[in-house]
Copies of this chain bind each other. A is one copy, B any other.
């Protein structure tokens, strides 16, 4: 039976122009691997949006990274103060992976 390890799944929903900054922050902390997912639209405390913005300034992208507890906590600590001002949403959850050493 394949051995499975519990890790943390980090998801950040953020405006597209902020993604490169988030990638760099993650890298600083030691989270080098990630995947970006597209979105279509939504609504939050700052109103509705659709991914048809010409400028892409308010089109949102989902940043996904699987990592260890410590890295996840460090990332959350780093991002928490920015969530409100930058209209971001951060989600953390448990996930099981094979090859645990790759997701430290």
Residue ranges of A at the interface with B (Cβ–Cβ < 8 Å): 1-2, 4, 9, 13, 23, 32-45, 60-62, 66, 73, 76-77, 79-80, 83-84, 89-99, 102
Contacts and interface: CB of A to CB of B under 8 A. Distances in A.
A24 to B, nearest CB: 12
Contacts of A13: 35
A99 B77 contact: no
A91 B96 contact: yes
Of A2, A62, A83, chain B has the most CB atoms within 10 Å of the CB of A2
A36 B35 contact: no
Contacts of A94: 93-94
Contact of A95 (B35, B73, B91): B91
